Structure 1
Amino acid sequence: MAYIATGGSYDRDMNYIDDRAQPAADTYRLIGARACPWAHRAIITRRLLGLEQSISLGLTGPTHDWKSWTFDLYPNSIDPVLKMGQLRSAYLNRYPDYPKGITVPALVEIESQAVVTNDFRTMVKDFCTEWTHFHREGAPNLYPEELREEIDEVANRVFHTVNNGVYKAGFAGSQEAYEKAFNELFESLDWLEERLSDRRYLVGNQLTLADVFLYPTLIRFDMVYHNHFKCNRNKIAEMPNLWGYLRDLFQTPGFGDTTNFQQIKDHYFLVHTDINPTGVVPVGPNPASYYAAHDRTELPGETWGANGTAPGPNPSEESFSDDEKGAFA
């Protein structure tokens, strides 16, 4: 996590390595973490589009120190492809004096073992628009040209007030900054609640990047942000449309099967010792609640994943235990 605190407000450092990867199979390794919401959107997109056969996935553990995310899910805590124990090594292979935070997601060139980009904004869009030759048959068009302006408009508000808004509240250094972030967050959640009252997805009648970008925050909200970041006006489970929408996405292949509740909680409650000095990790919520039936199929919007169009098992990740694969453990 990289941020700059100014005047009590939390300002995320958005200056990333913004190079673009030239699409090529078996050339890059996507380094992510089940715990990180920014990495989660890249992992979801990769799976929805079927890029598992072109871009391998390396997963770090949920906890880390100030220096680096580490590959402690693997035997001997070494990434089996990059042959390194810390993601920091890939950043130093690119810039020997790299001065900024070591973030995920990161797209690493396998041959040079150097980070090409860690810009989660362009990375995910490029997966949709530049890697089309490698998309699997039946993959959804997550960023259709006719909807891009609206997708970007919705995603921009969601990013500033919801995705990053929970961090602005949680890491606020003053009461004024906290209340400003808190109010903006719930104004947007109320707006989303209303928007989803008569449509299944955020933009158009189909799954898009707008949904991919919102999901990682919503799935973490009740288990982390509500209490850990003091975003406690209400839970997502207390907002009928958002709660049904979240369950709908969670039950869609590519979303729930890339979600790991325990790793999410371990990250926030063990890494943020300034907020949670005891290191006690909450037990709840019960994952079963996310499998509950919903009525979202009655709203306008196609059911993606039906008729055999959902992604199948990913053989390249079979080495992970069930608990490391996702919430379905």
Structure 2
Amino acid sequence: MTYVPDRITRESRRPEHGPVEGELWPVEPGRYRLVAALACPWANRAIIVRNLLGLEDVISLGLCGPTHDERSWTFDLDPGGRDPVLGMERLQEAYFRRFPDYPRGITVPAVVEESTGRLVTNDFPWITHDFFHEWREHHRADAPDLWPVALRDEMDRVMKRVFTEVNNGVYRCGFAGTQSAYDDAYARLWVALDWLEERLSTRRYLMGEAITEADVRLFTTLARFDAVYHGHFKTNRQKLVELPHLWGYARDLFQTPGFGETIDFEQIKKHYYVVHRDINPTGIVPAGPDPAVWLEPHGRG
């Protein structure tokens, strides 16, 4: 998947961090709308980071429903099936206003310019990166340091492994077209999860004693693991609840303001089990597991 590489930066200047392959847009409170879906783990990241940094009054939020067809995510949760700010029924409209012949998939998260309804970017790793680095003047006073300078090199290595082996790893299992491809994906995923289980046995969070962007990126996969990936994607060596350090860590984050309120297990299950008809042709959505377990004491304080 190739994403629109535009970035939003302070005064449209070249950012200090990362490449610039697209256009630069200026940081401007009230100009942009983050369009996301609670069902999607990649979009869930952006919602969490927006919450943690206190950007709710600076960047508005539009939510798509959990199911979609081959054309686009839709605003079917809103009255009349239209986003109340953008006036659109489908996120596809924002893509086509910017690129009339847009040839790729319509993905969330997406940042849309409110006044024109045009897509700005859907490059999800840079959206959250720039929420932290470029919107700093608008952060809440007690916002966490999601990218601590002293840890960035190690963070990059950890996040790369989490992305390739876990965030993407569950999808490699779920969409494997052959037994050998599945077997390889399954083995790689569990090597990474065992590494994380061991890492979290000696530290509260991935990078130590404070929450960073690395935790946000891992959490959205863990939150979906037992409800979806364990069965639907066949990642079933163990459930998350059977991995003591990862399970305690996941509950710790879930119970931290900014995280748990973004998790809607019914929307998550409906998205995967209804949309992925090639994997689940009946469209039956499972009733469990019980979400109440996420509120049990985690013991990691």
TM-score by length of 1: 0.86
Question: Given the alignment of the two structures, is residue 45 of structure 1 paired with residue 49 of structure 2, yes or no?
Answer: yes
- 1:287 maps to 291
In 1, distance between residues paired with 2:30 and 2:223?
Answer: 31
Offset, 1:295: 1.2
Q: Secondary structure at the match of 1:58?
A: strand
Give deviations 1:158-206, integer Å, cap 9, x for gaps.
Answer: 0001001000110011111111111110000000000000100001321
Q: Give me the CA root mean square deviation.
A: 0.6
In 2, distance between residues paired with 1:165 and 1:100?
Answer: 22
Contact 1:45–1:212, Cα closer than 8 Å, also in 2:
yes
In 2, distance between residues paired with 1:143 and 1:110?
Answer: 28
- 1:28 maps to 32
Offset, 1:294: 1.5
Match 1:213 to one of 212, 217, 233? 217
- 2:6 maps to 19
Q: Secondary structure at the match of 1:29?
A: strand
Deviates more, 1:141-150 or 1:69-78: 141-150
Match 2:126 to one of 105, 122, 126? 122
Q: Secondary structure at the match of 1:52?
A: coil
Question: Given the alignment of the two structures, is residue 102 of structure 1 paired with residue 106 of structure 2, yes or no?
Answer: yes
Give deviations 1:246-282, integer Å, cap 9, x for gaps.
Answer: 1100100111111100000000000001111111100
- 1:240 maps to 244
- 1:133 maps to 137
In 2, distance between residues paired with 1:41 and 1:17?
Answer: 18
In 1, distance between residues paired with 2:167 and 2:27?
Answer: 28
Match 1:202 to one of 206, 210, 218? 206
Match 1:272 to one of 273, 276, 279? 276
Question: Given the alignment of the two structures, is residue 296 of structure 1 paired with residue 282 of structure 2, yes or no?
Answer: no
Contact 1:220–1:264, Cα closer than 8 Å, also in 2:
yes
- 1:310 maps to none
Q: Secondary structure at the match of 1:31?
A: strand
AA paired with 1:98?
Y
Offset, 1:144: 1.5
Match 1:179 to one of 183, 186, 193? 183
Contact 1:93–1:114, Cα closer than 8 Å, also in 2:
yes
Identity across the alignment (%): 60
Question: Given the alignment of the two structures, is residue 93 of structure 1 paired with residue 101 of structure 2, yes or no?
Answer: no
Matches within 5 A, 1:76-91: 76-91=80-95
Give deviations 1:22-63, integer Å, cap 9, x for gaps.
Answer: 211000000000000000000000000000010000000000
In 2, distance between residues paired with 1:114 and 1:200?
Answer: 41
In 1, distance between residues paired with 2:129 and 2:155?
Answer: 11
Q: Secondary structure at the match of 1:57?
A: strand
- 1:73 maps to 77
AA paired with 1:196?
L
AA paired with 1:178?
Y
Offset, 1:147: 1.2
In 2, distance between residues paired with 1:221 and 1:173?
Answer: 21
- 1:257 maps to 261
Query: Would you say how many aligned residue pairs link Structure 1 and Structure 2?
Result: 284
Contact 1:147–1:204, Cα closer than 8 Å, also in 2:
no
Question: Given the alignment of the two structures, is residue 224 of structure 1 paired with residue 211 of structure 2, yes or no?
Answer: no
- 2:14 maps to none
Gapped regions of structure 1 (runs ≥ 5): 1-12, 298-329
In 1, distance between residues paired with 2:98 and 2:289?
Answer: 40
Moved over 6 A (4+): none
TM-score by length of 2: 0.93
Q: Secondary structure at the match of 1:53?
A: coil
